[in-house]
Amino acid sequence: MLSLKSCALALLSTNVVAVVASNAHWQQPLGAFSSASYEHGLFVPFEDLHALSKTEFTTLGHPLFPNYGVRIKESDFCDGTVKSYTGYIDVEARHLFFYFFESRDDPDKDDVIFWTNGGPGCSSSLGLFMELGPCRVTSPDNSTFNPYSWNEKANIFFIDQPIGVGFSYADYGEYVGTTEDGAKDVAAFVAIFFEHFTKFKGRSFHMAGESYGGRYIPAYASYVYDQNAKLIAAGATPVNLTSIMIGNGCSDGITMIPSYYDMQCKSETVAPVVDISTCVAIKRALPRCQQWLKESCHDTTDSISCAAALSFCSTTVQAPFFTTGMNPYDISKPCDGPISETLCYPVTKKIASFLDKPHVRRTLGVDSDYFSGRNFSECNDEVSSRFRRGLDSVFPSPYYIAALLERGIRTLIYVGANDWICNWIGNQNMLLNLDWTGSDAFKAAELKEWMVDGGVAGLTRSAGKLTFATIDGAGHMVPFDKPKESLELVKRWLAVEDL
């Protein structure tokens, strides 16, 4: 969601790379390792996920990543049909929380999916407990089995990132202020996980996210891809990055901001929701908005002028929508509750209350020393503001997408047709303007219907490694609104089938 506020014990020596640790932070000196120690056989992978403790963390390190440790434990919850795990990615004084669920189908053979929500600053617990996870929170005291979870056919991670989001935190106020800085942490974690749990080596790995994930995922996948060269050089196994999947992503302001006019003033999905005089004012302001954005945010890096351009576009193009009272995540319905409290979905408050329960936190292994007395927050405004001040959103993420396509990484951009904030028109225009060798073929491809159970699910266009799809009747959070269609989309994508 886009934030509008924008074995349990190994050798006890300097060669230890997996040790049992309590909830206290692990202090094993990982800095003693080097690529040489890996090459000479001093690295011993933990290997068996099922050997992990349910009561204590096992901490994993790797000689190629001396400043990183991964604490992980079995945390059977949410889906009684599979094993689940939780833990922290420890980057010195920074700690990123994650969940991992095995596949319901064949965990020893199925692909692996990485998932992050957006914001920037929103917890992936929203994706887990509201959208595509193995269970959905239906009340502050209960969760129910989700038959349409993406772990029907894949092993899947949910990660609270960057630092400060969800159950992730820093000891002394450290923070990450750009997507590229966050990418380093994610790439290191991915490598450590695959190196330790060797049964996943070589598995197809898919990096997925929604909303500001349109900014995160292209960069994170690029870092994972580039890191593979270093892994190979050190004698390690590269991560089999196979695809990226972006749902309702905001990847490119140059094409997304003009689309706000189309979505609120034209009958692209629903009838216009803004009055005529306001639409005329927006239309007149658009050329200045677009030119200013291009000149100050993309052609140059004039931070003062770029910030002013973003402010102008927000005031003239985006702000009128919020006077309507409609849901920016689903333009077909009004916002349910104050957006600052519910994000237009009251279930988000139930999720927060559920994650405040002491027994839930104990099961998950949440670091109680830090979170004792702190309420769970779905989105962190401070993180959002920090990224906004750093103008992180204006980086042209299509450059990453094009580069990944050139390297054979399959790319799926799917969009709920009712979303306003990261809508299908802006995403389609971004892809039609994408500079890559398959551009002409993609533009020439037919925009056609795709079907689920004999009914039209949406529209799709595909060429080479790139696929675009809309989902009828869905808003910003496709798996929440259309769970069956969402799962079918992902199953076909993993199986490399046409929509």
* Residues designated catalytic: 211, 419, 476
CA–chain centroid gap for 465, Å, is 20
Q: Render 63-89 in DSSP notation, one character per residue.
A: TT-TTEEEEEEE---S-TTS-EEEEEE
- Partners of 145 in the beta sheet? 135
Collapse the DSSP code of 319 into the 3-class scheme (helix H, G, I; strand E, B; otherwise coil) and give the result.
helix
CA Rg value for the chain:
22
Would you state the structure tokens that stand for residue 215, as one six-digit string?
């900014």
Q: Render 343-376 in DSSP notation, one character per residue.
A: TT-THHHHHHHHHH-HHHHHHHT--HHHHTT---
Would you state the structure tokens that stand for residue 146, as one six-digit string?
């989700």
**How far is Cα 209 from Cα 397, in angstroms, rounded to an integer?**
14
Instruction: Please check whether residue 314 is in contact with residue 258, taking contact to mean a CB–CB distance below 8 angstroms.
Output: no
Would you state the structure tokens that stand for residue 428, as one six-digit string?
């389609």
**How far is Cα 476 from Cα 135, in angstroms, rounded to an integer?**
19
N- to C-terminal Cα separation, the chain: 25
**HEC per residue, 118-148:** CCCCECCHHHHHHHHCCEEEEECCEEEECCC
Q: Is 420 exposed, middle or buried (0-12, 13-18, 19+ CB in 10 A)?
A: buried
Residue type, position 469, single letter:
A
Q: Render 389-432 in DSSP notation, one character per residue.
A: HTTGGGS-THHHHHHHHHTT-EEEEEEETT-STT-HHHHHHHHH
